[in-house]
Structure 1
Amino acid sequence: MRSAILGFVGGAAVLQTQASLPSHPYLLLAALAMVAVLASWRMRGRMRLVAGMACGAGLGFYWAAAMAAQALAPQLAKADEGRDVIVTGTVDNLPNRTAQFTRFFFAVERSEGGPVPPRIALSWYAGFRGETQALPDLRPGERWRLKVRLQRPHGNANPHGFDYELWLLEQGIRATGYVRADGPHERLDEFVFSGRNAVERLRHGLRDKIRRALDGRQYAEVIVALVVGDQRGIDQDDWQVFSRTGISHLVSISGLHITMIAGLVAWAASALWRRSFFLRRAQLPLLLPAQKVGALAGIVAALLYVLLAGFGVPAQRTLYMLCVVAVALWMNRIACVSHVLALAAGLVVLLDPWAVMWPGFWLSFGAVAIILYATVGRTAVHKNPGDAGAIDPDARRASPLTRRQRIVAALLAAVNTQYAVTLGLVPLTMLLFAQVSVISPFANAIAIPVVSLLVTPLALAGGLLPEPLATPLLLLAHALMRWLALVLEWLSAAPLAVWHAPMPPWWLFAFALFGTLWLLAPRGWPIRWLGAFTWLPLLAAQPDAPPHGTARITAFDVGQGMAVLIETATHRLLYDTGPAYGIDANAGSRVIVPYLRARGIGRLDGIVVSHGDADHVGGALAVLKEIRDGWTLSSLPRTHPVAMASSMHRQCVAGQRWEWDGVRFEMLHPTAASYADASLKTNGRSCTLRIVADGKAVLLAGDIEARQEAELLGRSAGALRSDVLLVPHHGSGTSSTDAFLDAVQPAIAVFQVGYRNRYRHPKREVVERYEKRDVAMLRTDAVGAIRIDLAAPLRVDRYRLSRPRYWHE
């Protein structure tokens, strides 16, 4: 059974790497199911094991394909993108409200103006494109009639980036959009009953209750996350501390918390049932054993807590494992722990085949598997041995452990478990995050008892008890969390708190995993310490780089904005940092920093911020905070926050030149005199950089417009010739004049634009100018991130085309 389940999980994972779905998945699924039944009936021994895994893989593959085909079926027609429609339906999840917007899922019951998928994601803005409107207090289960504008699911596509389109597919969202300011907007019903709406309304009420009790306090949203699983309000700086200290898994409804609550309820129910609720004549244990009652009560408590958590993967894994143990207890059978883990994994993938695409799935099951590997079947002392030579029979008999001995044994077991998890997850953590927290064992040793035994029970009690009793408990939980956060901040400030290295290839991960299992083998295993040496190539790896004399250009897909990474053999330069998406979200934190971390790049030798527009400077502060910089060139004022945050800031001026590893860099614009012109727009001072490597050139033109293009033609027309052009001003009608394009003569034009952006970039007349010159046009909104190897010959990689997935447009 275990081999078949592992095959099922593997088959579902393979399906998620496919560019398209197989035809007729249901028929193939049925055929494979019949083969699996025959194989299990006719085969024995190893052949049955192999056949079971193969059939399981086939079943997993086609089950995931069938689920994907069903999820992809409801679509918004291309022709309906950007059109206003009126939808009637219910608020379908816990809304996320800020001062600027409210985001929520909407279950559509009917639509006017065109067909709409049954579940959509909406944003309701307080101010948008000059319009202003008051944000209503949306609650789950309310029925509304709204005027909305929709588009098909689309997200930024970058290496090592978050796949927003996959996440939407998993959530059942087949269109996104926003609520129009001009209405009509009407609340039709206060609450529409359904099981889902009831649970979400309960979560909403608990969240509001906690926020009222902890109004204005720094870690109120952490308490919210521990009670209802909503982590969206936690500050990014706090997340950074939790990540660096390796305790992010605790700042949510984790498997540890669910097990603790289920165990507490099971113990209480069993104890009360064993005593017949203190009713003398009831004799309830004669009707049903107390262990079975406790197991049932624990499962009910775990289910309720998991529903509060929003049914995340770690919560599902714990619930299913507890259910398997409870069923085994009710059937009077002993459950093997490996069967329990395999069944839980199979159930998660059966219900959610896309779960295998998220780190939480592998970390959750990986941690439990490592604990089982390192602890199950190991010898332990349960009694004090008797004196074999004693005359007294009682002295020869083994005696129970003293309370002190039991406490010491429990502490040693906890230390051993933490040791196993810390070491066992090193290869997987490096594979998923390209970093490992060095201080995680110390941080978890403090955080696990504080969060699991104190903060979480207090927060839950405060959330469920009535107000007079709730507020003191919530305040105490917050005070403990605040004290813990101070300790974690001190730990995370250590210079070597986190070790960074590039994400390893699969063979290096497998080698390190083999060494880790060798290291955690039982006592008596030969030279276990040699296993640690398999980590050396994993932790000491260096980022790959282009050969000397060549350069690698990566134009990120950041939406409507610019961000380009230039790499030489030993140096790296970032040109622009993309837009800001919101108060705590920007291209720096969402796209650039994750990419650099995954590549093992911890330092940028230089940063060029072309000018001060938000779509170019929006991610700069996030990059400067997370990545060490050598210097920054920009046209920003010296008092600008980005200029002040840089280790060394200078204004970009035409004539600046330098050379790295045989690659030449030259600043062509702006002139020094332009800084004295107060009437000049920021676009007019865009730092314009030309890079030459191996006889090939790229021109990064920022947002220069026709006037600046003419100035460049007048000053240095002969120096403009480039093979690759980062199209000025995203293809605006104010740029890319005929004379400029004739001077540059690009073979490739890169348009960094957002999908269906409100400026309608690139303009049709601009595209026609490039088409007339037979220039190959690459758009980040269509092909994702673009990588160009600046060498002879030019090599181009388009992320969406080199890594196609069936859910991508």
Structure 2
Amino acid sequence: MSAAMAPPGPSRRGSRGSGVAPAGTVAARDARMIDPVLLVGLALAGGAMLALAPLPVAVAASLCLVMVRRRTSRTVLVVVALAIGVGGLRARVALDGAAALYARTAVLLSPPSRCEARGVVISSPVVIGEATRSAEEPSSARVDVELSEGRCGERALVEPLRARLHGAPLALVRGDEVALVVDLAPVHLFRNEGLRDATTGIARSGVTASGAVVDAQVVTRGGTLRALIDRARAAVRARIEDTYHPGAVALGRALVLGETDLDAADAAAFRDSGLSHLLAVSGTHLVLAVAGLAAALRAVLARIEVLAARWDVGRFSAAACIPASWLYADFAGGSGSAIRAAAMLSCAMLAHAAGLRPAPLRCLAWSIVGGALADPLVACDLSFMLSAGATAGLIGLNPPLSRLMVRGPWLFKKVLAPVATTLAAMLGCAPLLLLTGGAFPVLGIAANVVAAPVGELAALPLCLAHAVLSWAPDVERGAAWVGSGALLVVRAVARLTAQGGVTLPTPDPSPEQLSALAVTLVAAWTAPTRPRQMAALLVGAAAWMLLEVAAVRAGAPVGRLRVNVLDIGQGDAILVDLPEGGAMLVDAGGFVGSPVDPGERVIRPLLRARRRQRLDVVVLSHPHPDHFGGLPAALAGVEVGALWDTGQGESEGAGPVYAALLEDLRRRGTAVRRPEALCGAPQRVSGATVEVLAPCPAVAPDRGANDNSFVLRIRHGRRAALLVGDTEHEAEEALVRRLGEGLKADLLKVGHHGSRSSTRAPFLQAVSPSLAAISCGVRNRFGHPHAESMATLRAAGVEVARTDRGGAILWETDGKDAWWRRPGATRVQRGSEEVP
């Protein structure tokens, strides 16, 4: 028989030696291949991490490429490798550009200035402060504006400046051209070692300044589609405020408009119960809204006999829903999760309109690719990543969980099906929630089982329907009444769970841990068998624990004294890592009249990142709000060995925050020590020698709080740091007369933020520091540090580091040598001259 006449099917020879695999083998191999679009999307998004942690991410990326090589083609593997590099390069360019842009803004607005300029509104107005607004105060909004053609103080605007403005009129819409008088300052970056790179926010938004509106006059009204959407948002907001139960108004605005303006108690309850996602505009919102529109369109088109007889009207409704999904995502606030969901839904609708069957995984992949192409740092958008994680959980975990859980009689299945779906979505989000640090709600799953059906099956559809029912007032009021009730039920579940719930403390993971997690997930994903998947997960867990041990040791170095002058804005906060692993906190910053709490924003996350649950000593240098305002939040949940306090605040009165702080620490059993017990003999604290040099022997009643600041000299071996609080000339002169060269130190934390009332030449000569650290903020209006103090430091040949330029200052010594550096930079070695 000739070859041409041979029967079909592989011969033994062909299956072994010809290189042609049997059909069954090819099918099995194809089934195991990973979607190439998904790989490219993950590479583009994840590659951005190369710009933030180059070494661990590069190692992890290399290992991941090795592991996926058997489940993709060589061409795709090369494209994925290039995508990782391109993602990292794009992120690096964006971050460098953001840093340069911020530096120019800091020069323009230093000190903070009143600006008169023209601007264009570039973001939807968002209502803020309603929970604390009195009935007499008018509602106001927060908007982003791009300013041009004006002046800030004596300086002209030479390039467009994006600013986030508070107190703007609610009537503004995107595209409005406005004439503005605003008080502006650079945004707080809070650049500290171990915390997330704050320039990512600038790179993603372009906003480098913030401030308050003094006057705003609309010059030209916006007429774009976005302006129409903003007017629709304003109309829906007004109807929510008019028709909802008062307790549910803020909840409704969050659910429908994406305005997270809950009062502090409700915000904490939703966060601590794991129910925040029920008030976030997510893929579920988008699917319900767009699917409802598609069903309505399909029903209308089906009644047109000529059209319905010749065409599948569902394809027309699907095509119409593609722009509708983007319009709704924009209407609902344009969060990362809404935009990703709109992209995924558009992919599915496009496939349906083309007569194809949508592939959920491919749609998810294209949404990730689109997000990464549009935003080089989309991996830093938590809402986008949580949305993608939840969707991945639904695609990958819902089918097996449903097979495992949804059993029994019909009623049981009806109850268990949404439970399985909720659990799948939560498991998809769980790794990301754990990575955000803070605490993971252990009862979150149970709370979701109770609240999710109420929120997603009652509150969400009714609140969305309410938004388009203004033409039917009675129906609108009914939807508002029932929708408000459902929201209040969800809030009650959140409050109850938060009050009695158990949380799992979750420290912020290190870059090495994040990289190990990525490798573990890819290893489990690509493993060919269940035992190998379990082995990959076990190895990953072991690696995580080893890296956790390394993070604990790095956060509490042994044999070294490390003084961290933190970047907390205008104020003082210094974290001192002691040679035997303990720690001291000297002050915690604070802003009078500002909702920004440096204790919550900086110090508590930093303690978590350092794995510190105890502070041996907390020192309040003197009772001024820019030194103690952040302490209550910073010390929440932290064991405190002792509080060193001058006592002046308690004897003279320093306000309710200070009084509540003392009461709380005493209730917790913390010893409060005064100068009378601290002056004289040096204190030995976790391997360091701490000398209290002032106010000794006690507070001087004829001096103000600044000149009664604690002055601490902390020694390790031949090195010393001198921390002087807000000490001014009078106290400096007294120290020089009493101690002379006994003040000598390598590091001087300059008094009173570099004010002209501190750091005179005789004092500087007595200390003779190599480095002077000045804690001051980019938004300070006091002119700190003063030119006179800076000139004195330059004349003495002292190197100066300022927190408003470059962020935190990390000074470190092993007892012999000393060095200092900025966050993320390599260390700078100092000389070896000894201190007495």
Q: Same fold judged by TM-score > 0.5? A: yes
Change (3 A) 1:105 1:77: closer
Question: Any idea what the Cα deviations from partners look like across 1:228-259, whole Å, max 9, x if unmatched?
Answer: 1111x223443333222222222211122222
Change (3 A) 1:86 1:430: same
2:629 is the counterpart of 1:618? yes
Question: Partner letter of residue 364 of structure 1?
Answer: S
- In the TM superposition, what are the counterparts of 1:211-250 in structure 2 within 5 Å? 211-213=241-243, 217-231=246-260, 233-250=261-278
Question: Partner letter of residue 664 of structure 2?
Answer: A
Q: Aligned partners of 1:89, 1:377: CA distance in 2, in Å?
A: 54
> Can you give the 5+ residue segments of structure 1 that lack an aligned partner in the other structure?
21-43, 126-134, 383-400, 804-809
Q: CA deviation at 1:781?
A: 1.2
- After TM superposition, the score normalised by the length of structure 2 is 0.78
Aligned-pair identity in percent equals: 25
Residues 336 and 381 of structure 2 are in contact (CA less than 8 Å); yes or no, is this contact kept in structure 1?
no
Question: Partner letter of residue 613 of structure 2?
Answer: G
Query: Of 319, 322, 332, which aligns to 2:345?
Result: 322
Query: Of 306, 311, 317, which aligns to 2:334?
Result: 311
Question: Partner letter of residue 560 of structure 1?
Answer: Q
Indicate the residue corresponding to 2:22 in structure 1. Answer: none
Question: Any idea what the Cα deviations from partners look like across 1:143-187, whole Å, max 9, x if unmatched?
Answer: 4322346566662212454655432332243655555x5x7x544
Indicate the residue corresponding to 2:801 in structure 1. Answer: 778
Question: Any idea what the Cα deviations from partners look like across 1:324-354, whole Å, max 9, x if unmatched?
Answer: 1111112222333322111110111222222
> Can you give the 5+ residue segments of structure 2 that lack an aligned partner in the other structure?
1-33, 54-70, 654-658, 828-836
Q: Aligned partners of 1:703, 1:590: CA distance in 2, in Å?
A: 23
Q: Aligned partners of 1:669, 1:699: CA distance in 2, in Å?
A: 12
Residues 466 and 476 of structure 2 are in contact (CA less than 8 Å); yes or no, is this contact kept in structure 1?
yes
2:672 is the counterpart of 1:650? yes
Give the SS at the match of 2:805: helix
Change (3 A) 1:622 1:474: farther
| Residue range with higher mean Cα deviation, 45-54 or 725-734 | 45-54
Q: CA deviation at 1:611?
A: 2.0
Change (3 A) 1:539 1:469: farther
Q: CA deviation at 1:698?
A: 1.4
| Residue range with higher mean Cα deviation, 542-551 or 510-519 | 510-519
Q: Aligned partners of 1:109, 1:715: CA distance in 2, in Å?
A: 56
Give the SS at the match of 1:674: coil
Indicate the residue corresponding to 1:669 in structure 2. Answer: 694
Give the SS at the match of 1:605: strand
Q: CA deviation at 1:731?
A: 0.6
| Residue range with higher mean Cα deviation, 217-226 or 756-765 | 217-226
Q: Aligned partners of 1:509, 1:61: CA distance in 2, in Å?
A: 15
Change (3 A) 1:720 1:206: farther
Query: Of 178, 185, 190, which aligns to 1:156?
Result: 190
Change (3 A) 1:473 1:59: same
Q: Aligned partners of 1:239, 1:352: CA distance in 2, in Å?
A: 28
Question: Partner letter of residue 633 of structure 1?
Answer: W
Aligned residues: 739
Query: Of 473, 482, 486, which aligns to 1:480?
Result: 486
- In the TM superposition, what are the counterparts of 1:89-100 in structure 2 within 5 Å? 89-93=119-123, 94-98=125-129
Q: Aligned partners of 1:311, 1:109: CA distance in 2, in Å?
A: 25
Q: CA deviation at 1:589?
A: 1.2
Question: Any idea what the Cα deviations from partners look like across 1:35-83, whole Å, max 9, x if unmatched?
Answer: xxxxxxxxx9822222332444455566667888998998968875467
Query: Of 358, 370, 376, which aligns to 1:347?
Result: 370
Question: Partner letter of residue 692 of structure 2?
Answer: M
Q: CA deviation at 1:547?
A: 4.3
Q: Aligned partners of 1:508, 1:107: CA distance in 2, in Å?
A: 36
Query: Of 770, 778, 787, which aligns to 1:755?
Result: 778
- In the TM superposition, what are the counterparts of 1:183-194 in structure 2 within 5 Å? 186-189=217-220, 191-194=221-224
Change (3 A) 1:375 1:458: closer
Q: Aligned partners of 1:347, 1:718: CA distance in 2, in Å?
A: 64
Indicate the residue corresponding to 1:205 in structure 2. Answer: 235
| Residue range with higher mean Cα deviation, 567-576 or 152-161 | 152-161
Indicate the residue corresponding to 2:173 in structure 1. Answer: 140
2:466 is the counterpart of 1:462? yes
Q: Aligned partners of 1:744, 1:69: CA distance in 2, in Å?
A: 38
Question: Partner letter of residue 339 of structure 1?
Answer: R
CA RMSD, Structure 1 to Structure 2 (Å): 4.0
Residues 550 and 663 of structure 1 are in contact (CA less than 8 Å); yes or no, is this contact kept in structure 2?
no
Question: Partner letter of residue 224 of structure 1?
Answer: R
| Residue range with higher mean Cα deviation, 262-271 or 701-710 | 262-271
Question: Partner letter of residue 565 of structure 1?
Answer: L
Indicate the residue corresponding to 2:566 in structure 1. Answer: 556
Question: Partner letter of residue 802 of structure 2?
Answer: R
Q: Aligned partners of 2:612, 2:537: CA distance in 1, in Å?
A: 27
Q: CA deviation at 1:444?
A: 1.7
Q: Aligned partners of 2:501, 2:118: CA distance in 1, in Å?
A: 54
Change (3 A) 1:576 1:16: same
Q: Aligned partners of 1:243, 1:800: CA distance in 2, in Å?
A: 30
Q: Aligned partners of 2:96, 2:36: CA distance in 1, in Å?
A: 26
Question: Partner letter of residue 692 of structure 1?
Answer: R
Change (3 A) 1:249 1:487: closer
Q: CA deviation at 1:315?
A: 0.8
2:389 is the counterpart of 1:358? no
Residues 120 and 175 of structure 1 are in contact (CA less than 8 Å); yes or no, is this contact kept in structure 2?
yes
Q: CA deviation at 1:438?
A: 1.9
Residues 347 and 363 of structure 2 are in contact (CA less than 8 Å); yes or no, is this contact kept in structure 1?
yes
Indicate the residue corresponding to 2:10 in structure 1. Answer: none
Change (3 A) 1:425 1:463: closer
Q: Aligned partners of 1:721, 1:69: CA distance in 2, in Å?
A: 39
Indicate the residue corresponding to 2:162 in structure 1. Answer: 120
Give the SS at the match of 1:139: coil
Q: Aligned partners of 1:407, 1:303: CA distance in 2, in Å?
A: 37
Change (3 A) 1:255 1:798: same
